[in-house]
């Protein structure tokens, strides 16, 4: 087994007085694709936000390469190699594709290699290369998702977190997005994926963690979860 890249260790996360995550913990090892499963409101987005530093835990700890992130502000986490592609993409619609990508290169290290990374990322997404001077707001849904992923790659992440990347996309485009995630993974990026399309997520994932009401209910390999009668009934509708 490879070393843990990310350790989420018994975290409690609140919105005001409302506790949303209750001692939640799981591990993502170097080189894995791990998917977080669970119904709406289970706490998946909140988990990603906690890891990104946008909603820090009140109790428990999150470690990256063995070191606690407790004192690391959100803006500094991308410099460590943690990137989040948020739900809804959050592109700057009035800026061009190229400008959006350039804004993904935050941190001194990423800025220093921004030109090289821009070339690399545009080579990965030829469609974006063709449209690099177009406003991001004028792209199709699938192209916007690719742009959001490409922007996250500008910081050369070791851990790429994606929140519902297939949301609102046509099935053929969903396959393309999943294909890109699998390809990035083959290139050495570790992936933490939140996806409502469980079937697709389990096709590319190594392991899955099921979250219910802010706690881990079940963990297993993608094969184990796909064969689990409860998962099949509750989440796959079989």
Footprint of ligand ATP on this chain (CB under 6 A)? Answer: 15, 18, 20, 38, 40-46
3-class DSSP state for residue 236? coil
Instruction: State the nearest-atom distance from the C-beta of 18 to ligand ATP, in Å.
Output: 6
Q: Angle at which helices 171-186 and 114-124 pack, to 10 degrees?
A: 130
Question: In whole angstroms, what is the distance from residue 197 CA to residue 211 CA?
Answer: 15
Q: Angle at which helices 141-153 and 171-186 pack, to 10 degrees?
A: 10
List of residues 6+ apart from 131 with CB closer than 8 A: 97, 139, 143
Q: Which is nearer to ligand ATP, 45 or 78 (CB)?
A: 45
Instruction: State the nearest-atom distance from the C-beta of 214 to ligand ATP, in Å.
Output: 7
Q: Which is nearer to ligand ATP, 131 or 207 (CB)?
A: 207
Q: Which is nearer to ligand ATP, 56 or 81 (CB)?
A: 56
* Total number of residues shown for the chain: 238
Q: Which of 197, 204, 203, 116 is nearest to 153 (CA)?
A: 116
Instruction: State the nearest-atom distance from the C-beta of 59 to ligand ATP, in Å.
Output: 17
Q: Please, is 15 exposed, middle or buried when counting C-beta atoms within 10 Å of its C-beta (0-12, 13-18, 19+)?
A: exposed
Instruction: State the nearest-atom distance from the C-beta of 55 to ligand ATP, in Å.
Output: 8
Instruction: State the nearest-atom distance from the C-beta of 87 to ligand ATP, in Å.
Output: 6
């Amino acid at each position: 087994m490879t070393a843990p890249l990310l350790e989420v260790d018994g975290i409690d996360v609140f919105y005001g007085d409302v506790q949303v995550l209750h001692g939640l913990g799981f591990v993502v090892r170097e080189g894995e694709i791990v998917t977080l499963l669970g119904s709406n409101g289970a706490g998946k987005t909140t988990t990603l936000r906690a890891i990104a530093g946008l909603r820090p835990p009140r109790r428990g700890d999150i470690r990256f390469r063995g070191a606690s992130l407790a004192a690391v502000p959100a803006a500094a986490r991308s410099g460590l190699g943690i990137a989040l592609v948020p739900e809804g993409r959050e592109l700057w619609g009035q800026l061009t594709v190229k400008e959006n990508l350039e804004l993904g290169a935050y941190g001194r290290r990423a800025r220093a290699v921004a030109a090289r990374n821009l070339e690399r990322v545009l080579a990965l997404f030829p469609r974006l290369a063709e449209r690099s001077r177009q406003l991001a707001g004028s792209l199709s849904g699938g192209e916007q998702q690719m742009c959001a992923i490409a922007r996250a790659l500008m910081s050369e992440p070791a851990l790429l977190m994606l929140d519902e990347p297939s949301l609102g996309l046509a099935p053929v485009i969903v396959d393309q997005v999943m294909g890109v995630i699998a390809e990035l993974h083959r290139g050495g990026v570790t992936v933490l994926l939140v996806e409502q399309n469980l079937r697709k997520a389990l096709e590319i994932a190594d392991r899955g963690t099921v979250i219910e009401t802010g706690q881990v209910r079940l963990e297993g390999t993608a094969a184990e979860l796909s064969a689990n009668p409860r998962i099949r009934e509750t989440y796959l509708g079989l």
